[in-house]
Amino acid sequence: MLARRLIPCLDVRDGVVVKGVKFRNHEIIGDIVPLAKRYAEAGADELVFYDITASSDQRVVDKSWVSKIAEVIDIPFCVAGGIKSIEQAGLILEMGADKISVNSPALSSPDLITELYNTFGQQCVVIGIDSFYSEENNRYEVYQFTGDETRTTKTQWQTLDWIKEVQQRGAGEIVLNCMNQDGVRKGYDIQQLAEVRGSCQVPLIASGGAGEMVHFKDVFLKADVDGALAASVFHKSIIDIQELKTYLREQRIPMR
């Protein structure tokens, strides 16, 4: 049976792993390569590296760390952040990444998704979506440039519409980051993820809010996501990956 995936996310800024709360106030967690290796050995099913400075700084970021990761780890990994062109994506895939994830540049230029699909195949193309629940408008709204608080802006897109659009354009997987929950460890946004799941025919990865083991159980059983991404609970050793897998297996959730 296809296992559900546990995916530690490493936010990268200037070549080190950082973590902020609600996308702000980033603190340094450690060096990329040893952390990547540690997670692979600890039983992570996949890793995501978000270069959170890239899109907002409008510069091409040094990605030489990608091949260093590829040299040492034997599980799949995805690289996100500042990938604005086919050439940049191709370089990262050549360095050994299995997938590339595009967020802000896909919103600026949706054709990029189709071009990535045509060039590298659907399996490489992950679309990251930062979604914020607006109490005022009572709806989920897509945000852009969330790596830099001074440039973070609300887009014209409602989340469900953008979910459908990116699939039509060739997305192979969607990572939905629920901004209201990010970094506060009070649980995934089950309601939103379940709603999105209904419109998502490609693998869906939940992001934002993991704090306890029960949160993982809930997101797999109640929102039927394919994978759960988390950062601080793993970085700060609040949850041990093997213990979490044992617990989830007991809940009859298939784990590797």
Partner 1 sequence: MAVKAATANKDVTIINTGCANISSVKFALQRLGAVVTVSKDPKEIASAKRLILPGVGAAPAAMRSIEKRGLINVIKQLQQPVLGVCLGMQIMVNSSEENDLGNDKNTPCLDLMPGRVNRLQVGTRRLPHMGWNQIQKTSNSPIFDGIDNGTYFYFVHSFAVTQYENTIATCDYGEQFSAAIQHNNFIGVQFHPERSSEAGAVVLRNFMSL
Nearest to 240 by CA among 212, 207, 208, 205: 212
Per-residue binding string, partner 1, 27-46, x by CB under 8 A, is: -------------x----xx
Q: Residues 31, 17: contact at Cβ < 8 Å?
A: yes
Which residue among the candidates 11, 57, 189, 218 is catalytic per the annotation? 11
Give me the catalytic one of 130, 182, 218, 226: 130
Q: Are 44 and 77 in contact (CB under 8 A)?
A: no
252 binds partner 1 (CB under 8 A): no
Residues whose CB falls within 8 Å of the CB of residue 79, separated by 6 or more in sequence, listed in order: 48, 49, 51, 63, 66, 92, 97, 99, 100, 101
11 is catalytic: yes
Least distance to partner 1 from the beta carbon of 93, Å? 5
* Whole-angstrom distance, CA of residue 77 vs CA of residue 66: 10
- Distant-in-sequence, close-in-space partners of 25: CB < 8 Å, separation ≥ 6: none
Cβ nearer to partner 1, comparing 15 with 76: 76
Of residues 195, 201, 255, the one with CA closest to residue 44: 255
The residues with which 63 forms a beta bridge, in sequence order, are none
Please tell me whether residue 172 binds partner 1 under the rule CB under 8 A: yes
Find the binder of partner 1 among 2, 64, 138, 252 (CB under 8 A): 2
Q: Name which position in 86, 202, 221, 238 contacts partner 1 (CB under 8 A).
A: 202
Task: Map the footprint of partner 1 across residues 82-101, applying CB under 8 A.
Answer: 93-96, 98
Angle at 253 between CA 194 and CA 227, to 5 degrees: 50
CB of 45 to partner 1, least distance (A): 6
Contact stretch for partner 1 (CB under 8 A) within 13-21, 118-126, 132-140, 150-158: 118-126
74 is catalytic: no
Residue (of 58, 89, 182) closest to 130 by Cα position = 182
Should residue 233 be labelled a site residue for partner 1 when binding is judged by CB under 8 A?
A: no
Q: Mind telling me the catalytic residues?
A: 11, 130
Q: In the complex, which residues of this chain contact partner 1 (CB under 8 A)?
A: 1-5, 40, 45-46, 67, 70-72, 74-76, 93-96, 98, 118, 120-124, 172-173, 200-204, 226-227, 256
